[in-house]
C-alpha cells in the first residue's frame, strides 16, 4: 500500500471523536436516550454546513450557493444554513457537535443501497442483515429496546427483539388488545414458537407502555403539526414519561432535492432545527436533556456542483449533527476539499461513518 494512503487510513481508523461526552461520563455510560434522525433522500451537506469563505463554493454553485451575509457563522471556515438558527444557539451553548465529511470508501449512489450500507454499517460491497444497533441490543430482558417512529427499522433492523414500530401509542395499544396471549407451548415447531414469542412480546410491550403512560405527563412546550413533529412529539412523550426506551428512530423525508432546492431545503432544515429545539426545551424541563443524544444521518450527501435544474444530484460525503445536553461541542473531522473532488465531481469523505457510529455505541 502507498505510504500516504496507509497513513490516511490509520488516521481514519484511530480518529478520536470525543464529541459525545466529557471523559468522566464515558465511564458511567450515563446517556439513556439516543434519538436517530434519518434525513431521508440525501441531505445536501454543503448547504447545511457552509464553507462560506471558500470562493470555490460559489463557483460550483452559482445559483444555489447561500449568501455570505445570511449564513450563521461558526468560525472562519464554516457557517450554518440560516434555517438552523436554533441549532446555532445550541452550538453556542456547548450542545452541538458537527462532524464533517462523513462517508465511506467506494460510495454507492443509490438511495436504497446506500442507506442499507449505513443502516447495517457494512462495507460498500458487503450485505449484512442486521442494523448496527442490533448488537447493542442483546440482553434478554423484556424491556422495550427501541421504537421506530418514522421510516424503516434502519439501524434497529434485523431479528428485532423488543423493538416496536408505532405511529401512535393509542393505535398500538388498541391493536395489541386483540392478541390473546399467555400461551404455553411444547414441541419443536420453531416457526410457531417464533410467532408465539412475538405475540408475547407485543403484549409485554403494550403492558409496559400502558403502565408507564398511565399518569401521562403533559408536554410543557407543544410541537407543531406535521409528520415529523408528530414523531418528535411521541419520542419526547415517551422519554418524559420514563418509558426507559434507549433507542428512537425517526425520519424526516424530502431531502432528495434534484430541482429548485433552495426553498425546499430551507424548509426542511427549519423543521429539523425547530423540532429539536422544542424537544430540548421539554427535556430540560423534565431534567432529561443531559441523558439525551440526538444524531442525524443520511444515505449520502449531494454533488458539490449544482445541476441544471437549480438542484443537486446524489453525492457522497456530508456533515452530521450530534446534539445533546452533555456533549463536547465543536467541529470534528475535516471538511472535504472543494479543490480535490472525485472524477465525477463528488466530495471525498474524510471520516468513515463506521467510526462515527463506533463512538456513539461506546456511550451506551
Partner 1 sequence: MLEESSIYLCSVFQKNQNKSLCCVLYCVMNFMKLLVLLSLVVTSLFSLDFNSCKHLLNRTSLGITHEELASCQKEKSYENAVKTLVYKKNIYPPYVKSLSQLVKKPSKKLNTQQRKKFRQALRKQQNELKIWWFKNLLTTKDPFLEKMVLFWSNHFTSSLKKVRQPSLIYQQNILFRKYALGSYAQLLHAIVEDPAMLIYLDNRANKKIHPNENLARELLELFTMGEGNYSEKDIKELARSLSGYSVDKQLKFRFKKNIHDNDVKILFGKSGNFNVHDMIDIILQQDATSEFIVKKLWLEFVSYELNEQEIKRLAKLFKNNNYEMKPLMVEMLNSSYFKLDKGQMIKSPIELIAGTLRSFKSVNFDMKIALRYLNRLGQNPLNPPNVKGWVGGERWIDANTLLVRREFLNKFVRGDDMIDITFESENLAKELIPLDVLITPANTNIKTLRLILQHPLYQLK
Q: Which residues pair with 71 in a beta bridge?
A: none
**CA 8 to the chain's CA centroid:** 26
Does residue number 163 form part of the binding site for partner 1 (CB under 8 A)?
Answer: yes
- Alpha-carbon gap, residue 79 to 39, rounded angstroms: 20
Does residue number 2 form part of the binding site for partner 1 (CB under 8 A)?
Answer: no
Total number of residues shown for the chain: 364
Total binding residues toward partner 1, as defined by CB under 8 A: 43
Residues 202-261 interacting with partner 1 (rule: CB under 8 A): 202, 205, 258-260
Does residue number 270 form part of the binding site for partner 1 (CB under 8 A)?
Answer: no
Does residue number 169 form part of the binding site for partner 1 (CB under 8 A)?
Answer: no
- Alpha-carbon gap, residue 364 to 360, rounded angstroms: 7
Q: For residue 115, give every residue at least 6 positions away whose Cβ sits within 8 Å of its Cβ, in sequence order, or none.
A: 38, 40, 152, 154, 299
- Alpha-carbon gap, residue 25 to 334, rounded angstroms: 26
DSSP H helices, the chain, are 3-13, 23-28, 55-60, 85-92, 111-120, 169-177, 190-212, 227-240, 261-286, 353-362
3-state SS, residue 37 = strand
Residue of 53, 94, 110, 222 that binds partner 1 (CB under 8 A): 110
Does residue number 344 form part of the binding site for partner 1 (CB under 8 A)?
Answer: no
- Alpha-carbon gap, residue 223 to 240, rounded angstroms: 14
Q: How far is CA 328 from CA 13, 23, 142, in A?
A: 20, 9, 33
Does residue number 141 form part of the binding site for partner 1 (CB under 8 A)?
Answer: no
Nearer to partner 1, 72 or 144 (CB): 144
Residue of 165, 281, 285, 328 that binds partner 1 (CB under 8 A): 165
CB-count burial class (<10 Å; 0-12, 13-18, 19+) for 258: middle
Instruction: In angstroms, give the least distance from the CB of 178 to partner 1.
Output: 7
Instruction: In angstroms, give the least distance from the CB of 204 to partner 1.
Output: 10
Instruction: In angstroms, give the least distance from the CB of 219 to partner 1.
Output: 25
Would you tell me the crossing angle of helices 227-240 and 169-177 to the nearest 10 degrees? 70
Does residue number 112 form part of the binding site for partner 1 (CB under 8 A)?
Answer: yes
Does residue number 113 form part of the binding site for partner 1 (CB under 8 A)?
Answer: yes
Does residue number 125 form part of the binding site for partner 1 (CB under 8 A)?
Answer: yes
Question: Which listed range, 35-43, 163-171, 235-243, 285-293, lies at the site for partner 1 (CB under 8 A)?
Answer: 163-171
Does residue number 172 form part of the binding site for partner 1 (CB under 8 A)?
Answer: yes
Does residue number 190 form part of the binding site for partner 1 (CB under 8 A)?
Answer: yes
What would the DSSP string read from start to end of 320-348?
EEEEETT---EEESPPPPSSS--TTSPPP
Does residue number 173 form part of the binding site for partner 1 (CB under 8 A)?
Answer: no
Question: Which listed range, 27-35, 122-130, 290-298, 320-328, lies at the site for partner 1 (CB under 8 A)?
Answer: 122-130
Does residue number 73 form part of the binding site for partner 1 (CB under 8 A)?
Answer: no
C-alpha grid cell, residue 217: 405527563
Nearer to partner 1, 138 or 186 (CB): 186
Nearer to partner 1, 104 or 321 (CB): 104
Q: Which residues pair with 49 in a beta bridge?
A: 80
Instruction: In angstroms, give the least distance from the CB of 187 to partner 1.
Output: 4
Q: Applying CB under 8 A, which residues contact partner 1?
A: 110, 112-113, 116, 125, 127, 129, 148, 159-160, 162-165, 172, 175-176, 178-180, 182-187, 189-192, 194-196, 198-199, 201-202, 205, 258-260, 308-309
Amino acid at each position: 500500500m502507498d505510504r500516504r494512503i496507509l497513513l490516511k487510513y490509520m488516521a481514519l481508523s484511530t480518529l478520536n471523536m470525543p464529541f459525545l461526552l466529557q471523559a468522566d461520563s464515558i465511564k458511567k455510560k450515563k446517556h439513556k436516550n439516543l434519538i436517530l434522525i434519518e434525513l431521508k433522500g440525501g441531505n445536501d451537506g454543503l448547504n447545511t454546513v457552509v464553507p462560506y469563505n471558500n470562493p470555490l463554493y460559489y463557483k460550483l454553485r452559482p445559483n444555489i450557493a447561500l449568501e455570505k451575509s445570511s449564513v450563521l457563522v461558526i468560525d472562519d471556515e464554516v457557517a450554518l444554513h440560516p434555517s438552523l438558527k436554533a441549532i446555532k444557539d445550541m452550538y453556542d451553548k456547548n450542545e452541538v457537535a458537527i462532524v464533517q465529511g462523513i462517508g465511506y470508501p467506494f460510495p454507492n449512489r443509490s438511495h436504497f443501497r446506500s442507506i442499507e450500507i449505513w443502516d447495517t454499517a457494512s462495507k460498500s460491497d458487503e450485505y449484512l442483515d442486521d442494523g448496527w444497533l442490533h448488537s447493542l441490543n442483546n440482553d434478554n430482558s423484556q424491556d422495550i429496546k427501541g421504537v421506530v417512529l418514522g421510516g424503516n427499522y434502519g439501524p434497529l433492523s434485523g431479528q428485532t427483539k423488543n423493538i416496536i414500530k408505532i405511529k401512535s401509542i393509542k393505535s398500538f395499544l388498541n391493536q395489541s388488545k386483540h392478541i390473546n396471549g399467555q400461551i404455553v407451548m411444547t414441541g419443536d415447531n420453531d416457526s410457531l414458537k417464533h410467532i408465539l414469542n412475538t405475540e408475547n412480546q407485543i403484549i409485554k410491550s403494550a403492558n409496559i407502555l400502558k403502565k408507564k403512560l398511565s399518569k401521562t405527563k403533559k408536554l410543557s412546550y407543544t410541537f407543531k403539526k406535521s409528520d415529523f413533529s408528530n414523531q418528535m412529539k411521541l419520542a419526547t412523550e415517551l422519554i418524559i414519561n420514563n418509558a426507559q426506551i434507549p433507542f428512537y428512530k425517526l425520519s424526516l423525508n424530502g431531502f432528495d432535492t434534484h430541482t429548485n432546492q433552495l426553498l425546499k431545503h430551507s424548509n426542511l432544515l427549519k423543521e429539523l432545527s425547530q423540532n429539536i429545539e422544542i424537544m430540548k426545551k421539554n427535556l430540560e424541563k423534565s431534567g432529561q436533556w443531559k441523558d439525551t443524544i440526538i444524531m442525524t444521518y443520511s444515505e449520502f450527501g449531494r454533488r458539490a456542483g449544482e445541476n441544471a435544474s437549480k438542484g443537486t444530484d446524489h453525492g457522497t460525503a456530508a456533515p452530521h449533527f450530534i446534539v445533546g445536553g452533555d456533549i463536547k461541542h465543536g467541529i470534528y473531522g475535516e471538511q472535504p476539499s472543494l479543490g480535490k473532488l472525485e472524477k465525477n465531481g463528488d466530495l471525498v469523505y474524510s471520516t468513515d461513518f463506521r467510526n462515527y457510529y463506533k463512538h456513539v455505541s461506546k456511550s451506551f
